[in-house]
Amino acid sequence: MNIYLDLFLTFAKVGVCTFGGGYAMLPILQREVVEKKGWATDEELTDYYAIGQCTPGVIAVNTATFIGHKYKGIPGGILATLGLVFPSIVMITVIAAFLKNFADSPYVIHAFNGVRACVCVLIFNAVVKLQKSSVIDTPAAILFFVTFLLSAIWGISPAVIVLAAGVIGLVLKLIAEKRGDKA
Amino acid sequence: MIYLRLFYEFFKAGLFAVGGGLATVPFLQNIGASTGWYTGADLANMIAVSESTPGPMGVNMATYVGYTVGGAPGAVIATLGLICPSIIVIIIVSAFLQKFRDNKYVAYIFYGLRPASTGLVAAAGWGVIAISLLELGGVDGAQISFSLNWKLLVLAAVVFGCTHEEHLKKLHPIVWIALAAVAGVVFGL
């Protein structure tokens, strides 16, 4: 298959399978992009999510552009992103045109409650996979837990956390390097 | 020219909203208020639909607002407006990153970014769990309202068990999402 068509269709599939925000997209990306296509690693996904949270735009879109660009340059970035939004455009247009009371339907509400419970578990599984490559030593484990608490309990802005974590990572490694030189 | 305005407004939202889809909500409120294209109640309905349909929420909301304002072409134009800044900014960042990937200091920064990024995803997951499974309400007076949604917890436990079973875990995540939706309707969750 044409590489660009493959990018577009793969991300269209990711779009169809995502329910919720950019985080809900993570388990689908791990399956489609990391495991099936090999276009990115778990580590790279973590990097893209980190950067995608402190750059302009919706995380899901940012991540799609990142993966597409790394794989096939500028056209790749554009096509992956267009693929991601294509199903949304089609489905939302249909719903907006014909199903005015879509969100009030009891079937939709029940189905969506089930989906949300499932998405919780999928995100949990995704985090367990991600931490294998990102939480590699004690300082990293501390960063992971502190970040979790700051964000989950105190609602500190992800952009602030990401910037601080980058600085902390740099400082920790520089200190370790200096100590290594002396030894 | 309504399409031009639509593109401009969503380009702005895409450029200045940093974070998840919910970060665009204040921008959408602003657009509605300043143009009169839709009311706050319209927007609430659009957010509800965007959450419960396939596709990233931020994209769905842009499409919905665009359709409300300018029909099918409006849906396409609003969505393109939203993603344009992302495409431009990320392509620049990504090109920069590939150039400096082997730089020692960049690697040091990512050493700190990766666990933080994972922690943020975990926090987002916790957010969904708190709302849907534990029904953890806001602080109500001095008391935090808290009630377990047993049916959903059981469903989550079943999905967890299935996704860790040796043969079943190879199944695509969408299979579990679809089955969970069916379970939701059948058991009236």
Distance, in Å, from the CA atom of B116 to the CA atom of B114, rounded to the nearest integer, reads 5
Of B85, B111, B119, the CB nearest to A151: B119
Residue A10's pLDDT band (boundaries 50, 70, 90)?
very high
Whether the per-residue pLDDT at B137 is higher than 80: the answer is no
Query: Which pLDDT does position B76 carry in this prediction?
Result: 96
Q: What is the mean pLDDT of residues B120-126?
A: 86
As a whole number of Å, the CA-based R_g of chain A is: 19
**DSSP result, B133-167:** TS----EETTEEP----HHHHHHHHHHHHHHTSTT
The residue among B112 and B124 whose pLDDT is bigger is B112
Q: Quick check: B95 contacting A, CB < 8 Å?
A: yes
Query: Which pLDDT does position A182 carry in this prediction?
Result: 60
Query: Which pLDDT does position B144 carry in this prediction?
Result: 57
Distance in Å, alpha carbon of A1 to nearest chain B alpha carbon = 22
Of A107, A120, A162, the CB nearest to B156: A120
Residue B146's pLDDT band (boundaries 50, 70, 90)?
low
Backbone phi and psi for residue B18, each to the nearest 5 degrees, phi listed first: -110, 125
Residue B147's pLDDT band (boundaries 50, 70, 90)?
low
Q: Quick check: B98 contacting A, CB < 8 Å?
A: yes
Query: Which pLDDT does position A99 carry in this prediction?
Result: 83
Nearest residue of B to residue A25, measured between CA atoms = B56
List the single best residue of A115, A156, A173 to mutate versus B (max B Cβ within 10 A).
A115
Distance, in Å, from the CA atom of B56 to the CA atom of B116, rounded to the nearest integer, reads 22
Partner-chain contact B116 A57, CB within 8 Å: no
Partner-chain contact A173 B19, CB within 8 Å: no
Residue B141's pLDDT band (boundaries 50, 70, 90)?
very low
Distance in Å, alpha carbon of A26 to nearest chain B alpha carbon = 9
Q: Which amino acid is at A156?
A: I
Q: What is the mean pLDDT of residues A6-16?
A: 95
In chain A, which residues have their Cβ closer than 8 Å to the Cβ of B188? 110
Distance in Å, alpha carbon of B30 to nearest chain A alpha carbon = 17
Q: What is the mean pLDDT of residues B121-138?
A: 76
pLDDT, tens digit (0-9, with 9 covering 90-100), for A130-158:
888 889 899 999 999 999 999 888 888 88
pLDDT, tens digit (0-9, with 9 covering 90-100), for B44-90:
888 888 888 899 988 999 999 999 999 999 999 999 999 999 999 99
Distance in Å, alpha carbon of B36 to nearest chain A alpha carbon = 19
Query: Which pLDDT does position B135 carry in this prediction?
Result: 67
Query: Which pLDDT does position A105 carry in this prediction?
Result: 86
Contact A129, A135 (CB under 8 A): no
Percent of chain A with pLDDT over 90: 57
DSSP secondary structure letter of residue B171: S
Q: What is the mean pLDDT of residues B109-134?
A: 85
Q: What is the mean pLDDT of residues B11-20?
A: 84
Mean pLDDT of chain A: 90
Complex ipTM > 0.90: no
Rounded to 10 degrees, what is the CA torsion of A80, A82, A83, A88? 140
Q: Which amino acid is at A22?
A: G
**Which one, of A61, A34, A36, A22, lies nearest residue A132 by Cα?**
A34
Residue A19: other Cβ atoms inside 10 A: 25
